[in-house]
Amino acid sequence: MALTLGDKAPDFTLPTEEGKTVTLHDLRGKKVVLFFYPKDNTPGCTKEACSFRDQYAEFTDKNTLLFGISRDSAKSHLKFKEKHSLPFPLLVDAEGDVCEAYGVIDKKTLFGNTFLGITRSTFLIDEQGLIKAIWRKVKVANHVEQVLNEV
């Protein structure tokens, strides 16, 4: 069943690139942006992460936490974060359970091969843990501005 506006955001506990853990329900009282992306250090994902980086202060000014999530390893996330000076945690969903819970796993085709991968998606969760906005099949251009406007 796909998540819709007003649904309770699926809770999770995931490790960051630095081995700390983040549990969603511990973040109540702040807005949370989760952006799911396919792969560290790929062109679209790099552009998206850097766009969030460049607007990071505006999110923090609005009492909003940012987290990137993919199925990459902590080591891969750490290299990606350091290379692009990303100021927010990247969460490791190695098993893809959180991706499944948020419905961002879909069939993708690359070079004629079909596989299951992450569809670029962003969720805005309000202070009570409810989903306030959803962006699916995100186009990177102007996406961060759309999210900021909603926050």
100 vs 102: CA distance, rounded Å: 5
Residues 101 and 66: beta-carbon distance below 8 Å? no
Catalytic residue among 32, 33, 45, 131: 45
Active site residue 99: no
Angle between helices 43-54 and 143-150 in degrees, nearest 10: 40
Which H or E run contains 113? strand 113-118
Q: Tokens 């987290």 belong to which residue?
A: 67
Of the candidates 13, 53, 34, the one whose C-alpha atom is nearest the C-alpha of residue 121 is 34
The residues that are catalytic are 45
